[in-house]
Amino acid sequence: MQVLVAMGVTAVVLLAIAKLWLEFGSVTLLSLEGTPNALLLGLGLGVVITAASSVIYRLWPAYRQSADFYLQLVLKPLVLPDLIWLGLLPGMSEELLFRGVMLPAVGLNPLGVVASSLVFGILHLSGSQQWPYVVWATVVGLLLGFSAVFTGNLLVPIVAHVATNWISSFLWKLGNQEVEV
């Protein structure tokens, strides 16, 4: 329950920052178009990110150790229905802030994608031993950022982020035989 509360509080803080930035900055939020194409692109990107994470997990021991620590901390206390919130809360709030507001504020260009991705990666730092997870989160931020720039649709990275969180957390729970209802 504490993990969900922490996620909820973090989501509210990120949403508040995004809202204040939109209110007081001269930023235009990326469009949010619920088209079948955007949903399919987002879902496909989520599957690609999850598959790439799985490969990197097998090949890079430092990332495996970092991911195991992070996933154990976040996922172990959760039961299966909690994974809905694990996908939605960070997926929506982080994408609204980083790809919806920060990216257009810095620039819808490679520099904006890199800058917003670095900040996104740093957000995932939970200790000095977690640098491989930060590197991976930064790479994911690059993929999500470029998907937002190329499509002009914030729904694509939102769906990708939510799908990645759902798929990877479900697979982790299955692999650790922790699927409970």
- The dihedrals phi and psi of 47, each to the nearest 5 degrees, come to -65, -45
Per-residue pLDDT of the chain (181 residues; tens, 9 = 90+): 788 888 888 989 999 999 999 999 888 888 999 999 999 999 999 999 999 999 999 999 999 999 888 888 888 888 889 999 999 999 999 999 999 999 999 999 999 999 999 999 999 888 888 899 999 999 999 999 999 999 999 999 999 999 999 999 999 888 886 455 5
Q: What is the pLDDT of residue 180?
A: 52
* Domains of the chain, residue spans: 2-175
d(CA 158, CA 30) in angstroms, rounded, equals: 12
Check residue 30 and report its DSSP letter.
P
Helix axes 61-75, 131-151, angle to 10 degrees: 80
What confidence score (pLDDT) does residue 26 get?
Answer: 87
Q: Return the SS3 of 31.
A: strand
- Specify the pLDDT at position 34: 93
User: What residue type is 27 in one-letter code?
Assistant: V
pLDDT at 65: 93
The total number of residues written for the chain in this structure: 181
pLDDT at 69: 87
Q: Is 0.85 topped by the overall pTM? A: yes
